[in-house]
Amino acid sequence: MNRSINELLKELTLNEKASICAGLNMWMTKGIERLNIPPVHMYDGTNGIRKTNSDEEMGITTENIPATCYPTGSAIGSSWNTELLHEVGVALGRESKAMDVELLLGPGVNMKRTPLGGRNFEYYSEDPCLTGELGAAFINGIQSEGVGASLKHFAGNNQEFEKMVTSSEIDERTLREIYLSAFERIIKKSDPWTVMCSYNLLNGTYASENEHLLNDILREEWGYEGVVLSDWTAVNDRIRGLKAGLDLEMPGPADYNTKAIVEAVQNGTLAEEQLDRSVARILKLVERVTGNQTAELGEAPDYHALSRQAAAESIVLLKNENSILPLRQEALSSIAVIGRFAKKPRIQGAGSAKVTPTRVDIPWDEMQELAGDSVTLGYAAGYPEDDSVNEGLIQESVALAVNSNVAVLFVGQPEYAESEMHDLQGIELPEHQVKLIQAVAAVQPKCIVVTSSGSALVMRPWVQHVPGVIHSWLSGQGMGRAVAEVLFGQTNPSGKLSETFPVKLSDNPSHMRIRGENGKLYYREGLFVGYRYYDRKELAPQFPFGHGLSYTSFTYTELKVAQGENGVKVSFRLENTGKRKGKEVVQLYVHDEECKWVRPEKELKAFAKIELEPGEKREVVFELEERDFSYYNTKYNRWVAESGYFQIALGSSSRDIRITERLHCDFGKEEISFHKFSLLSEWISDPAAKDVLEQTLNEMNGHVTDKVYLNEEFVGFWEDFPVIKVFQMFGQKWLGERSPDDLIGELISRVGQARNH
Ligand code: BGC
């Protein structure tokens, strides 16, 4: 573009302005040739580029242009590695440029409320701090290459069932602390060029026209100035959407809405300045995209190697009894490799995030390569392609396992189960796989199960019978190699679960309300999502949030915490006490010991992934801010950190806390806003208010028999009584015809005056 945005706004006709508020087709914005405004080309995705063969097609059920398929969200979420996310972002930015993609529609960062969410595989975690840090790193990576990102799906879209017609009913505190918090962190740390609104309604209003969400929170509070675009067809009332701050409708051309916008401006129902604001943001996006097209691309880096590295960081070693892993070639002569997924791995989920990979590592091939010549590998399919139970295949596997030194079983959710548009039916493995594992484990005690799924799995019917479990998630095209390297020990596993694996599905806090009814889905479990619930309920999960084993061991010592000018500094020493180089994910949780409002037992506030040689020690330092100690107070509609004692807990998982320290934090005094029904306890906790109240009571005591003194006995009994009621109870004679309302109003203004002096 060779003119400024202001100049362009003057040059564009009303019709042109209205028209560029919708796309040209499925994947492009409209350009205006006469003014040299080029279109922007955008494509999915979240874990790889899904560029269709033509700009007119959705391409969901067809093969698209091949691109690198990285681990899906829940997999890479389990890497807990912000540097890796940045690196993958940079690689995606470069690959996008090579494919003429200017805006990438990702990452997906919605919270996992239920393990049944059909798109859980696309999302990072059940925790907003982990999600927020990873999402920001990913976006900073993409955008450092001059390619835009799209933060999605804003907001409250946590499952697929009837999402287009269901309102997520979420109370404001839960919304802020759980469902918006990751978005907020990402907006502030990475300024994504676009945000994609979700399909669902949020508290009764479509996200695409939700003034509270798009304007009050995103723009006004968080200061977001980029483009908000709609999820594909999420627009309903276009004029309402524009007023709320939805700039770009996708897909286009939506000529009917161009007409509606022009008419609304002409008849005065939409101010032209409101339209101009959206147009200016879209032009800014065009400017950002075109401003970066000069750099020479050079030779493509080895993206496949990066996909393997990312998979290796994502895989989680869940169980390793008697150090059955890694497999030692020198102690083995045969391995039974069982299960179809060994030859046809599941590497991703279905829907708009599905990438046509450039190549796929096959676990069986990679295992054969790494096992070496002295070890023989045998294969049995284990279960059929459909859901039926096939005794013949089970018996064939049992025979192979009996005659081998060890059995490695590849199992997981079937391909069809995890997809956009459908929630999962359950999180148990299919019956034919459960039976297979049980039968093989009965004859071969050295059994290692490699599970694939994008969401938590229930493992109770079999996990106690096998010594080794590796969760490989849906880890993209390099997964086969990465799993083989974990099995044989070339990779020391370092992934940690980004979500809780419950003992059974009904343990999950959202279990009572998983589906909306009559268009409303109430998030009644509130703040208690994921580990926040299991902790509070004192319920043991199968594998907790943050869990993941290593082939080495780490110790945590010398924890120091101190509050300074700029926040709280936490430092401790981490040591690799094992015999192998390895990476530990250290997790910092904060617990508020004294808050007046209910709070989770602990909340993740910081983490770091640290690599140490055997015997190496390192001092790890975290700086926490006041916000890390705050909760969202809906009385004042702001974040509040209450002075008092907090516990800082450092651990290797949310249930493996290694070291803790208490700290008294001073965040200043809470400034109470007094109102008609403020309680006696509130009045006496504020020095100015207490003074005013005491003076008034003295005055009253001169006229009544039942006198009131703010002594321990009186306050002990009446502290939860609104002060207005104290006067109604004891001061009616003194009040005479003056109403208690007037009295309280007057006292509140006296408190205000006293504070100002
Ligand atoms: C999905 C988005 C995606 C868009 C374009 C929608 O169905 O919800 O995540 O970016 O399609 O494919």
Beta carbons of 631 and 173 less than 8 angstroms apart: yes
* End-to-end alpha carbon distance in the chain: 57
Indicate the pLDDT class of residue 704, thresholds 50, 70 and 90: very high
Tell me the C-alpha to C-alpha distance, in Å, between residue 736 and each of 138, 692, 704, 740: 68, 20, 12, 10
* CA torsion through residues 308, 313, 314, 316, sign: positive
Indicate whether 713 pLDDT > 90. Answer: yes
CA of 352 to the centre of ligand 1 (A): 5
Q: Mean pLDDT throughout 202-223?
A: 98
Q: Is the CB of 122 under 6 A from ligand 1?
A: no
Q: Is the CB of 231 under 6 A from ligand 1?
A: yes
Beta carbons of 713 and 748 less than 8 angstroms apart: no
Which of 206, 192, 102, 190 is closest to 155 using CA atoms? 206
Q: Mean pLDDT throughout 366-375?
A: 96
Asked if omega into 66 is within 30° of 0 (cis), the reply is no
CA of 199 to the centre of ligand 1 (A): 10
| C-alpha–C-alpha distance, residues 232 and 163, integer Å | 13
| pLDDT score recorded for residue 291 | 82
Atom of ligand 1 nearest to the CA of 58: 12
Question: Whose C-alpha lies nearest to ligand 1, atom 7?
Answer: 232
Atom of ligand 1 nearest to the CA of 152: 9
Indicate whether 294 pLDDT > 70. Answer: no
Longest dimension (CA), the chain: 102
Indicate the pLDDT class of residue 292, thresholds 50, 70 and 90: low
More confident residue, 757 or 577: 577
Q: Is 712 exposed, middle or buried (0-12, 13-18, 19+ CB in 10 A)?
A: exposed
| pLDDT score recorded for residue 670 | 76
| C-alpha–C-alpha distance, residues 227 and 433, integer Å | 46
Fill in the amino acid letter for 300.
A
Fill in the amino acid letter for 637.
N
| pLDDT score recorded for residue 756 | 85
3-state secondary structure of 451: strand
Atom of ligand 1 nearest to the CA of 50: 12
Instruction: Name the residue of 103, 104, 105, 152 whose CB sits within 8 Å of the most ligand 1 atoms, as the mutation to test its pocket.
Output: 105
Beta carbons of 141 and 76 less than 8 angstroms apart: no
Q: Mean pLDDT throughout 382-398?
A: 97
CA of 234 to the centre of ligand 1 (A): 10
CA of 250 to the centre of ligand 1 (A): 10
| pLDDT score recorded for residue 148 | 98
| pLDDT score recorded for residue 293 | 61
CA of 231 to the centre of ligand 1 (A): 6
Average pLDDT, rounded, for the chain: 96
Q: Is the CB of 492 under 6 A from ligand 1?
A: no
What single-letter DSSP state applies at residue 214?
Answer: I
CA of 108 to the centre of ligand 1 (A): 10
| pLDDT score recorded for residue 405 | 98
CA of 223 to the centre of ligand 1 (A): 25
pLDDT above 90 covers a percentage of the chain that reads 96
Q: Is the CB of 42 under 6 A from ligand 1?
A: no
Q: Mean pLDDT throughout 341-366?
A: 97
Q: Is the CB of 143 under 6 A from ligand 1?
A: no
Atom of ligand 1 nearest to the CA of 44: 10
Indicate the pLDDT class of residue 297, thresholds 50, 70 and 90: confident
Q: Is 162 exposed, middle or buried (0-12, 13-18, 19+ CB in 10 A)?
A: middle
Q: Element (H or E) spanning 284, and its range?
A: helix 272-290
| pLDDT score recorded for residue 295 | 62
Which of 411, 409, 403 is closest to 443 using CA atoms? 403
Q: Mean pLDDT throughout 242-248?
A: 98
Q: Is the CB of 44 under 6 A from ligand 1?
A: yes
| pLDDT score recorded for residue 314 | 98
Question: Whose C-alpha lies nearest to ligand 1, atom 11?
Answer: 232
Instruction: Name the residue of 27, 42, 44 whose CB sits within 8 Å of the most ligand 1 atoms, as the mutation to test its pocket.
Output: 44
pLDDT above 70 covers a percentage of the chain that reads 99
| C-alpha–C-alpha distance, residues 683 and 745, integer Å | 14
Q: What are the structural domains of the chain?
A: 305-537 (3.40.50.1700), 554-665 (2.60.40.10), 680-756 (no CATH)
CA of 232 to the centre of ligand 1 (A): 6
Q: Is the CB of 232 under 6 A from ligand 1?
A: yes
| pLDDT score recorded for residue 566 | 87
Q: Mean pLDDT throughout 741-749?
A: 97
What single-letter DSSP state applies at residue 196?
Answer: E
* DSSP secondary structure, 654-710, as one string: TTEEEEEEEEEE----------TT-BHHHHHHSHHHHHHHHHHHHHHHTT-SS----
For the segment 568-596, what is each residue's pLDDT rounded down to a tens digit? Answer: 999 999 999 999 999 999 999 999 999 98
Question: Whose C-alpha lies nearest to ligand 1, atom 4?
Answer: 232
Q: Which residues are catalytic?
A: 231
| pLDDT score recorded for residue 374 | 93
Q: Mean pLDDT throughout 89-112?
A: 97
Atom of ligand 1 nearest to the CA of 150: 10
Question: Whose C-alpha lies nearest to ligand 1, atom 8?
Answer: 231
For the segment 397-425, what is each residue's pLDDT rounded down to a tens digit? Answer: 999 999 999 999 999 999 999 999 999 99
